[in-house]
Each structure stands twice: as structure tokens, then as C-alpha cells.
Amino acid sequence: MHVIGVIIRYLLGFGYLIGGLGLLAVGGLALWAKNWKLGGASSLIGLIALLGSYESFTMASPFLFWLILIFFILLAVAAVLYVTEPDLGIIDRFKSPQKLLKEGKKEKAAIKFKRCGAYRDAAKVYEELGWFASAALCYEEAEEWDRVAQLYLQMGEKEGEDGEYYLRKAREIFEEKLQDFVRAAQVLEKLALLEGWYWEDAAKNWEKVGDTEGARRCWEKALEYYRERVKEDDRVFLSDVADILERLGRNDEAVEVYKEFLAYCREMVEKEEKGWLRHVVETLYAMARITGDEEFKEEGDKALEEYKKYLDEVIKSEEYKEELLGEVKRWLKERVDRRP
């Protein structure tokens, strides 16, 4: 046991020595940089470590040896406590959230509430601080979805460039958690003012709640948006224009736009983009459905055979091929939302 004790003392001695020299070096650099607080603390602890090294090697004063060892143990514990929760601090870690509130330390009280699982209380404190994103996260933990959505909506209307992100979060919660498609549609209309393609989603939500006037208004806005995209020489959006015209009951206009889109699709196929055969078939079938013209259907059937050959070349799964072909054939009977 005596030998083990000596080995331990010498290991401590070398540890103190290396640590002390390192701390003195840091302290010296900090003092040179006029960082008096860091420099003073590092130098003082470094000197204590060197004293600990001396005591470990010589045991001149066993009392001092143990005192220094206890000091560094407590220092290590304090460092661990600080690193694991730097925003809370060491002393405040042991206080109740209520006491921290009385002391005016709201941020630390909120942290304590979260650690205790009192997410609703933490959220309320964060709201008082104006930290709405943190409050929303706490309300999520408490599953108070209505309040979460309201906070995201509030941030979305104020947060400038980040506004779209928070509005999307609000929309997601209204739809998925609250099943409130009216408020989701209202949020989508706000998003549409930032990105026009949201008009389409807003229209679909108004349709879900039976608001035909709201849906029509949004479809008209979506039509304006996609027509502008086409004018920007992005003809891929012709399909969206035709789709919306069909939804609005303007079938003659829809057919004319479908013809333009068909020409574009064939151009893409000629450029060796064989995947566009799918859109050729869909467009021909859509025109056949709208007009009742068998000629469009016959052309669509021919294009379908070409599409089948293409799928045989690129897809091995028969099940997936049948799924794709089934979606294409549906265009003869109904309008189908296109795959992204």
C-alpha cells in the first residue's frame, strides 16, 4: 500500500507540475494581453498547482497536501457543473426557479423550469423575455399546439427574412396537429405574398373546408403567378396554367395551353429527355378527357407504348412500373396532381 501511495503522489506531483506550468503560461499571455481577470486567476491557480507538486513530491506538510488536493477536486467539480450548463452558473444551479424569478433572473428560471419538466412555466417566462422561438419549443414539449402555432405566426409576421420559415412552421402545425385548415389557408395566403406558388396550397385548403369563393380567389392568384413564370421563358409551368384553368372550368383555354405544353414536352423528348414521354401521355389524355376527342386518346395510347419501352429500359421493379403507368392512365378519367 505504501508503494501505491508513493506512485499516486508522484503522479499527482507530475500532474500538478504540468498543469501549473501550463496555467502560468496562459496567465502570462493573458496578462500581456491585458486580460487581468483571466491572467490573475490562471496565474494564481498555476502557483497553487506548483505548490501542490512540491507537496506531492516532498510531503513537507501533509495538511497542505490534502488541502490542495481537495481544492482541485472542488475546482474540477465546479468546472464540470459550469461546462454542462454555462448559462445557469454554479450557484444558481442549486436554486429553485421560483427563487430565481424573485431575484429577477428570468432566463435562468426558464432553464430550471425546463430541467424540471415544467415546460409551460418555462414557455411563459420566455414569452416575458420576448424569446418567442424558445417559448414555442417549450410549448411544443407541453403539446400546446395552438399556442405554438400562434407564436410561429407572430414571429412570421415580424422576423423579416426568417418570416417565411416561421409561417411555414405555423402552417404545418395548423394542418398536422390542429387539423385547422381555415387558419392554415390564411397562413398560406401570407406565404403566397412571399412565394407565389403557395397560392395553390391555399386554394386546396379552402376547398377542404368548402369555401369555394376563397378557393377560386386563390386559384386566380395562382394562375397569375404561373402565367408570369411562363412569360419568364419557363414553359414547364404551362402544365400548371392548364391545370388551374381546368379547375376553374375554363376548359377551352385549358386545352389550348395543354397543346402548348404538349409541344414543349415533345421538344424535350427529342432532346433525349425520354422521361418527358410521361408528360406527353398525360397531356394527350387530359385533352381527350376534356374534349372527348378520340384522336387525342389514340395519340396518347401510342405515346404510352413508347413510355412503356422507356420504363423497361430504366426500371427493374415491375410493381413500380405498374404504379407509374396506372397514374398516367388515370388522366383519361380525372385530373391528377403531378409528381414533384
3-state secondary structure 60-113: CCHHHHHHHHHHHHHHHHHHHHHHHCCCCCCCHHHCCHHHHHHCCCHHHHHHHH
The reply to whether 281 falls in a domain is yes
Q: Which of 84, 109, 144 is the last residue of a domain?
A: 84
The reply to whether 65 falls in a domain is yes
Contact 192, 205 (CB under 8 A): no
The reply to whether 42 falls in a domain is yes
Q: Which of 49, 84, 119 is the last residue of a domain?
A: 84
Q: How far apart are CA 322 and CA 15, in angstroms?
A: 71
Contact 223, 236 (CB under 8 A): no
The reply to whether 331 falls in a domain is yes
What is the rounded average pLDDT of the residues 148-164?
A: 85
Q: Which residues span the domain enclosing 258?
A: 234-340
User: Which candidate, 113, 112, 59, places its Cα nearest to that of 88?
Assistant: 112
What is the band of 158 on the pLDDT scale with cuts at 50, 70, 90? Answer: confident
What is the rounded average pLDDT of the residues 324-335?
A: 85
Q: Which of 34, 60, 84 is the last residue of a domain?
A: 84
Percent helix, percent strand, percent coil in the chain, to nearest 5: 80, 0, 20
Per-residue confidence (pLDDT) for residue 339, from 0 to 100: 44
Per-residue confidence (pLDDT) for residue 21, from 0 to 100: 84
Q: How far apart are CA 173 and CA 179, in angstroms?
A: 8
**How many CB atoms are located within 10 Å of the residue 320 CB?**
11
Three-class DSSP category at 52 = helix
Contact 293, 299 (CB under 8 A): no
pTM for this entry: 0.71
Q: Which range has the worst mean pLDDT, 26-30, 171-175, 248-252? A: 26-30
**How many CB atoms are located within 10 Å of the residue 226 CB?**
25
Indicate if the pLDDT at residue 338 is higher than 80: no
What is the band of 13 on the pLDDT scale with cuts at 50, 70, 90? Answer: confident
What is the rounded average pLDDT of the residues 84-110?
A: 67
The reply to whether 129 falls in a domain is no
Host H or E run for residue 234: none
Q: How far apart are CA 260 and CA 238, in angstroms?
A: 7
Locate 56 and state its grid cell.
506531492
What is the rounded average pLDDT of the residues 301-329?
A: 90
pLDDT tens readout for residues 193-229: 999 999 999 999 999 999 999 999 999 999 999 999 9
Q: Structural domain tally of the chain?
A: 2
The reply to whether 225 falls in a domain is no
Distances in whole angstroms, Cα of residue 301 to Cα of each of 266, 296, 297: 15, 9, 6
The reply to whether 189 falls in a domain is no
The larger pLDDT score, comparing residue 101 to residue 281, is at: 281
The reply to whether 125 falls in a domain is no
